[in-house]
Chain A
Amino acid sequence: MRPVAVVGIGKTAFGAFADQTLRSLAVASAQKALADARMEPSQIEAFYLGNFAGPSFVGQSHLAPFVAGGIGLAGVPCTRVEAACASGGSAFFHGVSAVGAGLYDAVLVTGVEKMTSAETPRVAEILAMAGDCGTEGKAGATFPALFALIARRHMYQYGTKREHLAAVAVKNHANGAMNPDAHMKKVITLEQAMAGKPIADPLTIYDCSLVSDGAASVILCPLEKAHLYTDKPVQVLGIAQTSDWVALDRKADITCFPAVISAGRKAYAMAGIGPERIDVAEVHDCFTIAEVVAIEDLGFVPKGQGGPFSGDGQTALGGRIPVNTSGGLKAKGHPVGATGVAQICDLVLQIRGGAGERQVRGASVGLAQNLGGSGASCVVTILGAGA
């Protein structure tokens, strides 16, 4: 594969935007990314759209050309990618694959979700469709419930405590409060996080990510052409997408995600580095327990140590490995299809040194982990400062 670079990034704010549509959000983020890369829409040769459930949320199918029309891309191949909450990461993976294979020299990848136009119980039903509807769904499982099942077992096997999960929420809220584009800019205390409204034991409302509207876009080109568009190219050093069973009860051990472990190993091997070289990470904290499991599966800590490591502040800014400096899905927000692309935008910002108050000093290598469902899809990407 020829080396691929990210040369443009653009995000909308994440939040609840009654006056915006799925298309207007996607178009706004794409225009920002094009401007960032000093490109015209006519230069884009292919378009990949990450979107989980636009047809259910907003009643529109055939979304890739529908969005592309608004950006001014008519004529190029337009592909929608769906992999539940990893839709954005998967769209990015396919964009990188296409550029890496030499098919195109300029690709736009956008992720978008417009969730807040639906009522909360309907949102929960649509999200639950990312699980196994015939078994988990019929039994009354919600998405928080699936991660609650994981949390309970993790606590049982490794002694992970409620306080450890709450510490993840507190840290991500603190980071989100420094992110002007975050959905929730509200600092919370450990006591608040522990005493939240129960959703599915042991998870409370503060363990759950947000239901958000938002979009994120990136522009990819071969590394050798990156200088045409930016002074600060960021190279895709490693990337992998993997899969696993959709239903939790088919997995031998639910305290880890085999898809994350294998995607991580493949991405590290491709980049030729190990977890100790990662300066900053954006991981998929759809629930606090998911961040704890992710830092274990990605090799930042030994199995079972994710809880105490988080509780000790080692994943906070200034800690051993800052995780989710953007605020993560928990505070930045989780417009499902946008999330995986937004993670890339946030890492690029860190590697360019433009993250402001949230900047990790000297960050030159970053890792993004985007998870679909309760672990059935995963994309891990390692980015580094381009030559």
Chain B
Amino acid sequence: MRTGRVYTETTIYAAPREFLAEAPYQLVIVTFDDDGSRMTGRVTGEAVAIDDAVELAEERAGVPVFRRTMVSI
């Protein structure tokens, strides 16, 4: 699974018409661990903050969706 760190994030309250029903929702830019490239995407599960470790959970209609990486014991 592709992993990375949150480079920046915001929670959107005033959404475009297409996404009105989903607001508020969090938008992130994530820096991938493997090649240092970045992608803009959404977050599933609990909200994330800058520097949080995340993983690419799925792609929804071509949009990457990230979730906070579970800490393994």
List residues of chain A with CB under 8 Å of any chain B CB. 121-122, 124-125, 128, 135-136, 138-142, 144-145, 148-153, 156, 197-203, 247-250, 254
Chosen A-B contacts, 28 in total, with CB atoms closer than 8 Å, are A121-B17, A121-B20, A124-B14, A135-B39, A138-B62, A139-B40, A139-B41, A139-B42, A139-B63, A140-B16, A140-B63, A141-B12, A141-B27, A142-B15, A142-B16, A145-B10, A145-B12, A148-B10, A149-B9, A149-B27, A152-B8, A152-B9, A152-B10, A153-B50, A198-B13, A199-B14, A200-B10, A201-B10
- Interface pair A248/B16, CB less than 8 Å apart: no
Q: Does B70 contact A (CB under 8 A)?
A: no
Mask for B18-43, Cβ within 8 A of A = 1, else 0?
11101001010100000000111110
Question: Which applies to chain A's interface (DSSP): helix, strand, loop or mixed?
Answer: helix
Distance (Å) between the CB of A157 and the closest chain B CB? 9
Chain B contacts for A152, CB-based, 8 A: 8-10, 50
B residues adjacent to A (C-beta < 8 A): 7-20, 22, 25, 27, 29, 38-42, 50, 61-64
Which residue of chain A lies nearest to B41 when distances are taken between CB atoms in the complex? Answer: A139
Q: How far is the CA of A122 from the CA of B20 in the complex (A)?
A: 12
A54 CB to closest chain B CB (Å) equals 21
Q: Which 8 A-B pairs have the closest CB atoms?
A: A148-B10, A153-B8, A249-B38, A140-B19, A121-B17, A149-B8, A201-B11, A198-B13
Complex: A148 Cα to B15 Cα, angstroms = 13
CB atoms of B27 and A145 under 8 A apart: yes
On chain B, the residues within 8 Å of A202 by CB distance are 10
Contacts of B11 in A (CB 8 A): 198, 200-201
How far apart sit A139 and B38, CA to CA, in the bound complex (Å)? Answer: 14
Contact between A156 and B8, CB atoms less than 8 A apart: yes
> Within the assembled complex, what's the spacing in Å between the Cα atoms of A248 and B40?
8
Alpha-carbon gap, A213 to B61, bound state (A): 36
Task: Out of A138, A139, A144, name the residue touching B14 (CB < 8 Å).
Answer: A144
| Assembled-state Cα–Cα distance A249/B28 (Å) | 10
With the chains together, A258 CA to B40 CA distance in Å?
20
Minimum CB–CB distance from B35 to chain A (whole Å) comes to 13
Residue with the greatest number of chain A CB neighbours at <10 A, chosen from B12, B17, B42: B12
Residues of B within 8 A of A254 (CB): 7-8, 29
Within the complex, what minimum Cβ distance (angstroms) separates B66 from chain A?
Answer: 11
Bound-state CA distance A366–B39 (Å) is 38
Q: A183 to chain B: closest CB distance in Å?
A: 19
Give chain B nearest CB distance to A50 CB in angstroms: 25
Does the CB pair A250–B22 fall under 8 Å?
no
Q: Report the nearest B residue to A147, measured CB to CB.
A: B10
Interface centre among A121, A140, A148, A247, by most B CB within 10 Å?
A140
Whether B40 and A141, one on each chain, are in contact in the complex, defined by CB atoms closer than 8 angstroms, is yes
The interface residues of chain A lying within 8 Å CB-to-CB of B63 are 138-140
> A149 near B22 (CB under 8 angstroms)?
no
